[in-house]
Amino acid sequence: MAKKTFTVLENNPEVMNQLAYKLGLSQELEFYDVYSLTDPDLLAIIPRPVFALLVIIPLSDAWHKDREEEDGSKQIYQGVGPDEPVIWFKQTITHACGSIGLLHSVLNSQAADYIKPGSDFDKLRQDAIPLRWAERANMLSESEPFELAHEAAAQLGDTPPPTLEVADKLHQHFVSFVKAKDGHLWELEGSRKGPLDRGALAEDEDALSPKALATKYEVSVPTLGNRNLEATLAHEYEYLVRVEYREFLGANPVFH
């Protein structure tokens, strides 16, 4: 079977909201822009709690090096069943990292409580739980509702969808950071060998809490290759993704 290829998604609240709603998420929740990870005033306007942060990472040489060093000789994740802390999808569909990031954000956070019964989201969740990674990836690849929802969302946004040739040269990748049901912050990315546990968060800490943000900087910022310049690092990282950072918000969301 030929490897499936999707149209690249624009990381835009409208795009992510419509994809989530199409798959069956309640409109009580919404994606928002995050314009800074360090400015207290800009962080203060974000409604809380934040269930997940969906990020675009630049695919630099340092990023690849960090990934290879951390993954090393690890075996691919074999978690399965209702007791696994997160539902992780191995990405086998080209350019599907945006929609898989959305799946990771919704299915593994408190947002899962807002999935409509009998919806495509609900079916994807129930179908995925008893499957190991390869069967789970194949199930997602063969899901017509998932593909149709992705492709419909890909037509939205501020810019036309890129051609396949252009998309292959974008060198960016979606990653989701989620506060899961076990209270831990998880880094979820379909091109890794499995989900990454980034440590426990307190009951009153969400995915945008100071501890979670510190973890994200420690994990993600070095991928730009500037490990020793903390101030420069933070400014450069924010600039690169300032309009590409999104987070998934829970109670009392502010609707635009």
- Please pick, among 64, 95, 97, 150, the residue that the annotation labels catalytic: 97
Query: Is the overall model pTM greater than 0.95, yes or no?
Result: no
pLDDT, one tens digit per residue, over 84-136 is 999 999 999 999 999 999 999 999 999 999 999 999 999 999 999 999 999 99
Please tell me whether residue 228 adopts helix, strand or coil conformation: coil
pLDDT, one tens digit per residue, over 207-220 is 988 888 887 666 65
Fold for 13-249, please state it.
Answer: Ubiquitin C-terminal Hydrolase UCH-l3 (3.40.532)
How many Cβ atoms sit within 10 Å of the Cβ of residue 61?
9
Check if 235 is active-site: no
The domain locations on the chain are: 13-249
Tokens 């426990």 locate to 200
Predicted local confidence at residue 38, as pLDDT: 78
Check if 97 is active-site: yes
pLDDT category of residue 1 using cuts at 50, 70 and 90: low
- Please pick, among 95, 150, 173, 184, the residue that the annotation labels catalytic: 173
3-state secondary structure 158-178: CCCCCCHHHHCCCCEEEEEEE
pLDDT category of residue 45 using cuts at 50, 70 and 90: confident
DSSP states of 111-169: GGGGBPTTSHHHHHHHHHTT--HHHHHHHHHT-HHHHHHHHHHHT-SSSPPPPHHHHTT
- Cα angle, residue 151 at apex, residues 128 and 58 outer, rounded to 5°: 80
pLDDT, one tens digit per residue, over 49-58 is 999 988 887 7
